[in-house]
Homo-oligomer: A and B are copies of this chain.
Amino acid sequence: MDCVQWQTMGSIGPARYPGTRTWGTMVALSIHLDRKADTPLYQQIADAVRQQIRLGRLVAGVKLPATRTIAKDLGVHRKTVVQAFDLLGDEGWLVAGVGQGTFVRSDRPGLPSELRRGTELEREDGDDGHVQSLAVGTGFSWDALLRARPEPSPVWRFLSRNRPDPEWIRFTGATADPSHFPAEDFRECVNEVFREQGANALDYGTPEGIAPLREFVAERLVPNGVVVDPDQIMIVNGSQQGLDLVARLLISPGDEVLVEEPGYSNGFRLFQALGARTIGVPLDPGGIRLDALARTLRETQPRLLYLMPNYQNPTGLSLDADRIEPLLELCRRHRVPVIEDQFDGDLVYRGAPRRPIKASDREDQVVLLGSFSKILFPGLRLGWLVLPRPLSPAMRELRQVADFSSGLFVQHAMLRFCRQGRLERHVEQVRRIYGARLEAMLAAMAREFPPGVSWTEPEGGLTVWVTLPDGADSLELLQQARGEGVDFSPGFLFFPNGGGGQHFRLSYVRETEERIERGIGILGELLRAHCARMPELSSSRPFF
């Protein structure tokens, strides 16, 4: 047997607190062997035990199973287990009590001396060799208590069944390329914050965020036609938190919410986690279809419309300028607020930057979400919300009980980065880099992809959207592509209520031009074979 596990109630005595009883605490030991590995078996056993002591799964004083038991259960020679225990004894992890067995040492640093010797471990084999719960067989059921049951992300379910290889050419992940993060620039800003503000930058902040950063955001929106007071801006932990906070103010379980289809999966997963029903409104190359939107608004009672009008994820498409006013008018008539996700308005490579529809919002009916994560550092978790004034008081209250505020320290560092012109320099740089990658991808697709396959030609953003002929299946293609070392995001991830098998998304920002061309070449070859098997190509099919 390659995997064995023992469990027991080890007793941990609170000797320092006389008068209290000694409560048991479940402890467990599990050992997995990989007989094909280069590491010797005794080393694998020692590694497993050491790891579990270090992680606190095996607390000091616990008695280990006899070497004979372990050897028998694992199907190894007893000498192998003795060798492992000897090694751990030499390292100071285990200690032998004469005639008593082997114990986890209680005098190693970091553990209080009152931890008592445990009882002997009883063997219990786990199905997959993992302890499912340290509290086995108790009557307390969390499952029955869960009010909210967020569905596992389809991305997560998919990826957990199909782990990507780091060597693959990865067209997945609509996130910036960390190899171009201006980390050294940011380090300088961080040190300036320490020098000039010291400990004060590490204290509590306010729910709305620091005023000068809100002022910066407000100023930077002006050239986009969005003129708002800094008081209307709240700094949040990335635009996802912004969306969460707005949705919590506007949605109750059972509500209907309109989303783009295809659209941003973590948007509709959030609405679903809040108990809402997501209703997809289809796109065409000019963005969300107004006829479909009008019909859906008539037929449903949505609480909000969530929209990524420019450089949309996943399609890269932008809303036609002449749809903006009718869209706002439609939503106003139905009293449906618009949540506009600006996503990556800075990542524009072709044509003039598109204005947010917030710029046309005379009635204060649009909440605008933005982020520093796509253009700068997602690891700082900084974004912002532009709030219609009537929402501000409730939002401030909600934020205070949700998590108080964004970190003061990163806000100050980001403010310096932005105010010193480093943001604009960085925007220029990544626009150039990503723009070249987009052109490389589009040129390679035109060269390599067979007739019947169509794709978007985005002006900005991070992704291109590909549509296969009728009957083709992007999951099947993905399986073949992974076999050839190319990864992409299958279309079903971006459809809130199923479908999307005919599409896939390609991200071009995290790979070099050379690798992009190679990857598209491989995909092209697979697509040609794939399409050759199709009964007929339906090039007349609408885009979505």
Residues of A within 8 A of B (CB): 9, 12, 14, 16-17, 19-21, 23-27, 54-57, 59, 110-112, 131-135, 138-153, 156, 175, 178-181, 183-184, 186-187, 190-191, 194, 198-205, 215, 218-219, 221-223, 225, 227-230, 236-238, 240-241, 244, 248-253, 255, 266, 269-270, 273, 303, 321-322, 324-325, 332, 335, 337, 352, 355, 359-365, 373, 376-381, 388-391, 393-394, 397-398, 400-410
Contact = CB atoms under 8 A, between A and B. Distances in A.
B202 A397 contact: no
A202 B14 contact: no
Contact of A141 (B56, B221, B335): B335
Given A250-B146, A362-B23, A397-B151, A218 B55 contact: yes
Contacts of A131: 229
Given A178-B200, A202-B186, A229-B57, A150 B398 contact: yes
B148 A398 contact: yes
Nearest to A215: B55
Given A360-B23, A394-B150, A219 B352 contact: no
A249 B146 contact: yes
A352 B114 CA distance: 13
Contacts of A229: 55-57, 131, 134
Contacts of A379: 201-205, 407-409
B244 A403 contact: yes
B227 A140 contact: no
A251 B147 contact: yes
A135 B199 contact: no
Given A225-B14, A379-B205, A24 B362 contact: yes
Contacts of A230: 55
A238 B203 CA distance: 13
B199 A145 contact: no
A248 B215 CA distance: 33
A403 B363 contact: no
A500 to B, nearest CB: 19
Contacts of A144: 335
Contacts of A360: 23
Contact of A202 (B110, B146, B378): B378
21 contacts: A27-B227, A54-B215, A55-B218, A55-B229, A57-B229, A110-B222, A134-B227, A138-B364, A140-B332, A142-B388, A142-B390, A142-B391, A147-B252, A153-B397, A180-B199, A201-B379, A202-B379, A240-B404, A273-B397, A381-B406, A381-B407
Contacts of A17: 321, 352, 355
Given A142-B390, A378-B202, A364 B244 contact: no
A409 B183 CA distance: 11
Given A240-B402, A393-B152, A397-B151, A183 B204 contact: no
A215 B53 CA distance: 12
B398 A380 contact: no
B133 A364 contact: yes
Contacts of A355: 14, 17
A26 to B, nearest CB: 7
A110 B219 contact: yes
B322 A111 contact: no
Contacts of A112: 223
A273 B252 CA distance: 12
A426 B179 CA distance: 35
4 interchain residue pairs of minimum CB distance: A150-B397, A135-B364, A181-B199, A379-B408
Contact of A21 (B145, B175, B325): B325
A189 B390 CA distance: 42
Given A20-B321, A249-B148, A401 B191 contact: no
Given A20-B321, A134-B364, A179-B199, A377 B409 contact: yes
B407 A380 contact: yes
Contacts of A255: 147
A18 to B, nearest CB: 9
Nearest to A398: B150
B401 A19 contact: no
A145 B303 contact: yes
B183 A219 contact: no
Contacts of A266: 400-401, 404
A468 B150 CA distance: 48
A398 B153 CA distance: 10
B191 A394 contact: no
Contact of A403 (B9, B227, B241): B241
A221 B183 CA distance: 34
A373 to B, nearest CB: 8
Contact of A16 (B26, B335, B352): B352
Given A139-B332, A198-B183, A359 B23 contact: yes
Given A150-B397, A223-B112, A321 B407 contact: no
